[in-house]
Amino acid sequence: MSRTAPAYVCQSCGGVSRQFFGRCPACGSWNTLVEQTAGPAPDGRRRRAMPEAEAVSAPRRSQAITAEGDAPLPRLATGFAELDRVLGGGLVPGSLVLVGGDPGIGKSTLLLQTAAALARQVSVLYVSAEESAQQVRLRWRRLLPEASAEPQLLAETDLEEVLRELEALRPAVAIIDSIQALHDADLASAPGSVAQVREGAAALQRLAKRLDIALLLVGHVTKEGMLAGPKVLEHLVDAVLTFEGDRFASHRLLRAAKNRFGATHELGVFEMRDRGLVEVSNPSELFLGGAEPSPGSAVIVACEGTRPLLVELQALVSTTSYASPRRTATGIGTNRLHQILAVLEKHLSLPLSRFDCYLAVAGGLEVEEPAADLGVAAAVVASYRDLVLAAGTVLVGELGLGGQLRPVGQLELRLQEAARLGFRRAVVPRGSGLGPAAAGLGLQILEAGGVTEALVAALGVDPTAD
């Protein structure tokens, strides 16, 4: 009888070690190694060397990559145009989609409403592993009292029972809420551990691919905001969606961090109401402030995937009372703000190192692209000089360390969105290569090669003049 060697698995990253350590050698986390004993593989599953005489010369199951033809991939409409946009056009049969988000953000509400819309087209199974069947029915009656079709409901935490139900029912769509709550009785570890999540997701993936079931998995997040469980879970699924939002605001943002069937970093916008989630058709209204411009505010056009959004930036520059001035940014990277302040002080000779600077993005949106640099610079200078940008002005451009403006992508798409919302002036980098379509937008396009020239065009005065 062969002996089994113990293995120590990290509950944070899933790394395996043959020796116990207080600190995981892979990720550096402390006290996360848990012993797991792995038995020998069955004889029928061991890989055997095939003699050369028995080698098969022709392929038996592989085929040419274009053998299936050019038929378009069928997709299922989820009932939410915003969700379809993030998924790349709808739900692909046989795909695995992981939806993560903070507790109480609305993941179960989104998927329950999606299940109701999908049930009008195909068969749907909703597996509730965290709530009882009565709790799910109470939410259903509150959110969807007039639903014309109902999905099947299974309140179960045993992975084997869930797999049997999927095998017997063979639905077109299955929703697992959540993957961390499922438990495999063959494993000694607790539900939610690395081994449980890894084996449960792998078993569900094999079944979904074999039966062509579109599988939606709800995933927990850690206190750092990362998806809980092993990293292999994100590699295993076809799409990773994150549901975000401010607990003090009603809007919710759905982003695609990974998508094998569409573009990543797409954005869907929802609003939470008493009857559940409602799509926001014009999200730019959420991120624009009042109608009257104020000192220290500027409007930029940010692109989330293929969607342009007009966003208001607000800056406050005040005299510091500390030895080191404070720099606080909400919605913009703090390091990016430090870099822009250094460029302004160097090339405009503004003594910003003696002032506190606060920057915020209206509406709670996270803007990561460098196209917002010119808007940040304009808001900071306007607050420092107590100036107001002309109404109806948008700013788009990346700011280099030498004070030059660099072109950004999808500029025509950004200008089209600004013109649609009634803006009349746009300050853009020189040499952006605007096509003839931009001339018919009704926008006064002001091109600038450097930050000083751009700020003069935006503010109407020379910010370097005393």
Q: Which CATH number fits domain 285-459: 3.30.230.10, 2.40.50.1020, 3.40.50.1450, 3.40.50.12160?
A: 3.30.230.10
Specify whether the CB–CB gap between 192 and 220 falls below 8 A.
Answer: yes
The DSSP call for residue 221 is: B
Residue boundaries of the structural domains of the chain: 1-38, 81-281, 285-459
The one-letter amino acid at 209: K
Please state, in angstroms and rounded to a whole number, the distance separating the CA atoms of residues 329 and 358. 6
The domains spanning 81-281 and 285-459 adopt the same CATH topology: no
Nearest residue to 78 (alpha-carbon basis) of 68, 90, 70, 69: 90
Place of tokens 């999927």: 166
User: Considering only CA atoms, which of 420, 419, 415, 340 is closest in space to residue 380?
Assistant: 340
Backbone angles phi, psi at 441, to 5 degrees: -85, -15
81-281: which CATH topology? Rossmann fold (3.40.50)
**Separation between Cα atoms, residue 2 and residue 87, nearest integer Å:** 48
Give the predicted TM-score (pTM) of the model.
0.78
What tens-digit pLDDT sequence spans the chain (466 residues)? 445 667 888 877 778 888 888 888 888 888 888 877 654 444 444 444 445 544 555 556 777 777 665 666 789 999 999 999 999 999 999 999 999 988 889 999 999 999 999 999 999 999 999 999 999 999 999 998 888 888 999 999 999 999 999 999 999 999 999 899 999 988 888 888 888 888 999 999 999 999 999 999 999 888 777 777 777 888 899 999 999 887 677 888 898 989 999 888 788 999 998 889 999 888 887 788 665 778 899 999 998 877 889 999 999 999 988 888 999 999 899 999 999 999 999 999 999 999 999 999 987 788 888 999 999 999 999 999 999 998 889 999 999 999 999 999 889 889 998 998 889 999 999 988 776 666 678 888 999 999 999 999 998 888 877 6
Q: What is the arrangement of strands in the sheet containing 355-361, beginning at the earlier edge strand?
A: 327-330, 355-361, 307-319, 297-304, 393-395, 425-429, 444-448
Q: 195 with 189: CB under 8 angstroms?
A: yes
Cα–Cα distance measured from residue 292 to residue 271, given in angstroms and rounded to the nearest whole number: 25
Token pair 């014009």 is at which residue? 282
